[in-house]
């Protein structure tokens, strides 16, 4: 990965921070193709493809996000621990608003003036919503997946329990991840997967929880998880003034909401409420559903279904080939 140092970034809370921001560019070089920004989910990072890549099924040669056709940029969420020195001393220093501003500043440093698409899943989708409100003409289309533009009481409750586990548990990373896995899946998903089966006298579902807890603890820092959990609780594009319509209706980009009816983290009913309330003010707004028993993680599990939805979106998107080289400011 490459990095950019943002000196004394002024946070939403008024603090000045030096932030070393890591990013990765795959596909065609900047300036030679339409640009797609991919915002990663909670415990992933800017590595999209190859070993350790979290989105190999969607990004790559001849995939939906085709690296032979697009320039694809992904930026690490500051404080996520991926990259040297990428931890925040104060895990509550940044909000989703700050992350979106940092991403915009990073794009500006790279000379990017226009994006074909901003796409993100889970917390990455919330960052996508926030970026679109801060820069309403930046992208031709915005695709938030399995997410929301705001927090909810349900999400706040989950984040509060996660914060308590991370602060007080004997094995905080392992136990927080185990609890989180139950938020990412559904009872039906686990019941059908494990069917009360045991191995060596232990329920297989418990071994599955142990595996996921241990796997995260091996690759993730406690301070990073605290940071990302706090960021998850800070989602609010209305910035506490209560008028999301005022903010979202300014977005000129076409918006494609992708929701999951069984999602227990970001509820589909909230996304449908957004669609119903916003559609009268924004003709270029669309909503799609991933049908699955698997809950929030369906955006990772149902890769073919997601690919089909994205294929239909990208086929309808209009790329002005004559202007594709104007997508960057040459330095």
The CATH superfamily holding the domain 2-151+242-324 is Alpha/Beta hydrolase fold, catalytic domain (3.40.50.1820)
Q: Is 263 among the catalytic positions?
A: yes
What pLDDT was estimated at residue 319?
45
CATH of span 154-231: 1.10.1740.110
User: Which candidate in 98, 236, 263, 297 is catalytic?
Assistant: 263
Task: Using the predicted structure, report yes or no on whether residue 184 has a pLDDT greater than 80.
Answer: yes
Concerning whether 122 is annotated as a catalytic residue, the answer is yes
Does position 318 have pLDDT exceeding 70, yes or no?
A: no
Mark whether 128 is an active-site residue: no
Q: Which of 247, 288, 296, 297 is catalytic?
A: 296
Domain with CATH 3.40.50.1820 in the chain: 2-151+242-324
Buried b / exposed e over 296-320, threshold 16 CB at 10 Å, is: bbbbbbbeebbeebbeebbeeeeee
pTM of this prediction? 0.93
Distance between CA atoms of residues 116 and 141, nearest Å: 6
C-alpha R_g of the chain: 19
Domain with CATH 1.10.1740.110 in the chain: 154-231
Q: Is the pLDDT of residue 242 over 70?
A: no
The number of beta carbons lying within 10 Å of the beta carbon of residue 172 is 18
Q: Which residues is 115 bridged to in the sheet?
A: 139
Catalytically annotated residue among 122, 189, 234, 327: 122
pLDDT at 326: 42
29: buried, middle or exposed (CB in 10 Å: 19+, 13-18, 0-12)?
exposed
């Amino acid at each position: 990965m490459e990095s950019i140092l943002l000196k004394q970034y002024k946070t939403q809370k008024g603090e000045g921070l030096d932030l070393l921001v890591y990013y990765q560019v795959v596909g065609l070089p900047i300036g030679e193709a339409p640009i797609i920004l991919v915002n990663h989910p909670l415990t992933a990072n800017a590595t999209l493809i190859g070993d350790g890549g979290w989105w190999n099924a969607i990004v790559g040669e001849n995939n939906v996000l085709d690296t032979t056709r697009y320039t694809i940029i992904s930026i690490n969420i500051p404080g996520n621990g991926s990259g040297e020195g990428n931890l925040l001393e104060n895990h509550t220093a940044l909000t989703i608003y700050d992350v979106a501003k940092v991403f915009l500043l990073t794009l500006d440093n790279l000379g990017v003036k226009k994006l074909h698409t901003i796409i993100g899943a889970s917390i990455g989708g919330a960052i996508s919503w926030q970026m679109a409100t801060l820069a309403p003409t930046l992208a031709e289309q915005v695709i938030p997946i399995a997410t929301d533009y705001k927090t909810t009481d349900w999400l706040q409750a989950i984040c509060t329990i996660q914060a308590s586990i991370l602060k007080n548990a004997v094995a905080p990373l392992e136990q927080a991840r185990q609890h989180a896995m139950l938020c990412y899946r559904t009872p039906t998903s686990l019941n059908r997967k494990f069917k009360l089966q045991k191995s060596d006298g232990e329920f297989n579902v418990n071994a599955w929880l142990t595996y996921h807890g241990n796997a995260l603890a091996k690759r993730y820092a406690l301070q990073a998880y605290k940071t990302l959990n706090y960021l998850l609780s800070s989602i609010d594009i209305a910035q506490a003034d209560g008028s999301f319509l005022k903010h979202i209706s300014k977005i000129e980009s076409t918006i494609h909401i992708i929701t999951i009816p069984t999602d227990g983290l970001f509820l589909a009913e909230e996304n449908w409420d957004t669609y119903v309330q916003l559609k009268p003010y924004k003709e270029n707004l669309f909503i799609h559903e991933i049908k699955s028993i698997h809950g929030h993680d369906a955006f990772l599990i149902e890769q073919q279904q997601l690919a089909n939805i994205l294929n239909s979106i990208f086929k309808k998107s209009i790329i002005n080939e004559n202007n594709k080289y104007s997508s960057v400011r040459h330095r």
